[in-house]
């Protein structure tokens, strides 16, 4: 997120709207109950949350729940494959 917004002419608003455009395709294709954001995206979520949710509401004809993972999701996913 910081790289995206640093010195390249982008800002939090652009990031939130672009992420919403990406999520639109995932939501329409897979119709998930919830989308969980992790990693560096989750650490910066408060900076673009409002714009992303607003744009996603415009793009998707139904409600989508977006949550932030507060744990290391990659490790949890890897561990779940072992058990």
The model's pLDDT over 13-27, given as tens digits with 9 standing for 90+, comes to 788 898 999 999 999
Terminus-to-terminus CA distance in the chain, angstroms? 33
Residue pLDDT, tens place only, 47-68? 889 999 999 999 998 888 998 8
Q: Measured between alpha carbons, how far is 76 from 83 in angstroms, rounded to an integer?
A: 11
The backbone torsions φ and ψ at residue 35, rounded to the nearest 5 degrees and listed phi first, read -110, 130
The pLDDT, as a whole number, for residue 56 is 94
Q: Is the pTM of this model over 0.85?
A: no
């Amino acid at each position: 997120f910081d790289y995206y917004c640093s010195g390249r002419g982008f800002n939090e608003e652009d990031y939130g709207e672009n992420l919403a455009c990406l999520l639109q395709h995932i939501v329409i294709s897979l119709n998930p109950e919830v989308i969980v954001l992790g990693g560096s995206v989750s650490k910066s979520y408060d900076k673009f949350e409002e714009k992303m949710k607003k744009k996603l509401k415009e793009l998707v004809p139904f409600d989508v729940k977006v949550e932030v993972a507060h744990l290391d999701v990659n490790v949890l996913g890897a561990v779940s494959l072992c058990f």
